[in-house]
Amino acid sequence: MPAGVAAPMTHADRVNEELRALGYELSGHRLDAHAEDFARLASTRNLVLARDLHRFPDGARVLVAGVRVCTQTPPTRSGKRVVFTSIEDRSGVIEVVLFSEAQRRSAGAVFGSELLAVHGQVRRSSPGALPTITATRALPLSEV
């Protein structure tokens, strides 16, 4: 390539630059580069997508995965730490709650990884409510 001419951007570079500059993606999704990982998890580990969580009964054990969108640890009345994190797959956002036992095993992944895989149980606060996941373990996607 001649000096002074930039190499063409890859799809992943373009998506990351859109996210950096605009705050959202236009030409794809951050998970596009991980499509093979998601296909493997779907076929071997029964990965559940956000759009399908409503089909699972309260208490069902599931595996979900995606990009960590945000993580919060708001103060609680009891003083016990509860971690709330949101992960996004290509079909939607999944709300995840980690109580103390899951935090001991998973804090490094939840606070340090952009791509997460979460094992947990489906929970609904009331009939017809959107399901959340009570995590039993969260791992970087690369370790699943």
* pLDDT (tens digit per residue) in 44-83: 778 999 999 999 999 999 999 999 999 999 988 888 899 9
Q: In one letter, which amino acid is 45?
A: R
In a domain, residue 7? The reply is no
Q: What is the dihedral angle through the alpha carbons of 55, 98, 139, 133, rounded to the nearest 10 degrees?
A: 0
CATH number of residue 97's parent domain: 2.40.50.140
For residue 14, is it within any domain? no
Give the domain range for residue 42.
33-143
Q: Is residue 22 part of a domain?
A: no
* Number of domains within the chain: 1
Q: Is residue 77 included in any domain, yes or no? A: yes
Write the pLDDT tens digit of every residue in 124-134. 988 878 899 99
Q: Do the domain assignments include residue 12?
A: no
pLDDT for 5 equals: 66
96 occurs within a structural domain = yes
